Structure 1
Amino acid sequence: MSGTLPSADTARALVLALAETAGLVATPRAPAGEQAEREACDLIERCLQLCRDAPAVPAEPVRTVHHFACTGGTLICKCLAALPNVQLLSEVDPLSTLRWNRIQPQFAPTDTTLQLRQSPRGVSPELLVRLFAQNLLAIQAECAALGQHLVLRDHAHSHFCVGDSVPERPTLREMLPPDLPVLSVVTVRHPIDSYIALSGNGWIHHAPGTFDEYCRRYQAFLDRHDALPTVRYEDFVERPEPTMRALCELLQLPFREDFVQLFPAIRLTGDSGRGGEQIAERPRRRPPPPLCAELLASHEVGPLCARLGYAPSTLQEGLEPPPASTGDR
């Protein structure tokens, strides 16, 4: 179902066809009398009035999930993708410049957007946004017709964590067609844990490549998504089912408890975490000594953690120097 009622003209044509089939109106083979025509007109009017009085069916919304890299977003989105009839597109950002090599074009026969970016004359950001919006409308219409729920996983890292500064350009949510209903959520993780993982994966793409700069960019990301509800990764791994139920309520998605058994079968891009088929809390990784010292000396992480709701005691967990050995030398 498309989620819209037929127009009055369409409804009239349908009722006339039914009335003709029932012998209530004239056909070339069977002319009808005045009484039959009046009955047909009354029937048409009653049907049209029912159409006018019927409550409007709300259009199916697009859902968007926003987070930084290495914040547990892949695990959460795998679980969302395991829910009934969810169609999830992973790591979407039409204006991302990561993995785009201007010097060495990629083979991309199915990707006309990348073809445009790699073309000798290039393409404007405005056209990229228009193409994305048009494609999204077609995808959403198909999903709605099939009874599917479209979820877009934002690749916010491309916007906020690449280059010398955060570029002045629209977020993924701001690129969506204005008439399309949208439900969104932000997922977060303790910034010390996400930065340790980011550094371990070699994904420090911002400059200067410091933890304090990362915290400032995290704040900029939160500023641009300030009105959206937030779900913490730590709450999800501690209480998967109630947290997923709350997430489904926010996004108006059907909840099923068996997502815990189904999510390991889902394959998504960005699966850089520790892996495994269990949703469980894990201890903080101990970073190398130079990074450990940088994390402990940060001036920006305190305000960021306070904004995200993490207790001050979490700032030093697992970062203290190991106790000195008391054994004989």
Structure 2
Amino acid sequence: RILVALNQVYMRCWRGLPAADNFRLPQMWEAQFNVGLSHHAFTMIEAELGRPVSSLESYVGAVAELLALYRARGVLGIKLDKPTIQSLPSASAAAAASDVAPLFERAARLHDRDNQGGAPLSPAEQTALRDYLAHAIIRIAGEVGLVIIQHSGHRGMWKDYRLANPMNLIPVFMLYPKTRFEVYHAGAPWVREAGMMAKTLPNVWLNLCWAHSLAREMARSALDEWLDLVPVNKIIAFGGDTFVWIEWTLGDLVLSRQNVALALAKRMTEGLLTEDQAMDLAWRMLFDNPKSLYGLRCSPGDNVTYE
């Protein structure tokens, strides 16, 4: 009965989302704003604002202006790129602007097609610029109400998954208490540690997206432990990183609702929950919690649209 009800709960809540290539609520990527990750960020920002940005100060101001604009248009969050996740924790705070400004100016000159001079930034210089701008983006996101989304765990074949340990970013979480962070993929394989982060850090939420498909039993076990450990309003059972084909989203949803139903049914069998209490928890994890985190103004059955 719980499994059937969860299916009805979730599909009623989100059936109005745009279909085909627009079936997700919008998020953006750090690389769209961080020239330390991609020089294309220069082109995008200058095209959007209709003016050049040639200094570090003007660039950070332009990023702040655009993030506020996109938030007003309905963008909900920014996902950190994997290189940032592995390097950002190395500093407890951003480097001084006076140290990074010359690096930015060199990068800007290299971006200028009419300027053929200047040496490319070294890997260390590129990292310093990238991390400085990542700190700025995280700070601004908190100011304008955007959620910072963090990948964790598996990064692809022949890549060191330890570099995407969510615990690496605990100093960053603590440095920006006004910025809300959402840890994707349950923090897998560090699901228990992720639970402790969400319990002790008020600005950290946990999202089980992809975790159900990655390792079904691990995701279910994590959810069961989190119901003991983590404030329930900080657990999101499904949603995020299911894109390209709608079949991916629906397939992941099937596994997600099965895991939620089994975790709650186990507690009902043990006498820890009534059916009404279990259904209340399901509603929270599948609808109320993401609605609250992202400030969505919708009710079950509403058509959700964005510009």
What TM-score do you get using the length of structure 1 for normalisation? 0.32
Considering only CA atoms, is the larger Rg found in Structure 1 or Structure 2? Answer: 1
Q: Which has the higher helix share?
A: 2
Structure 2 length-normalised TM: 0.34
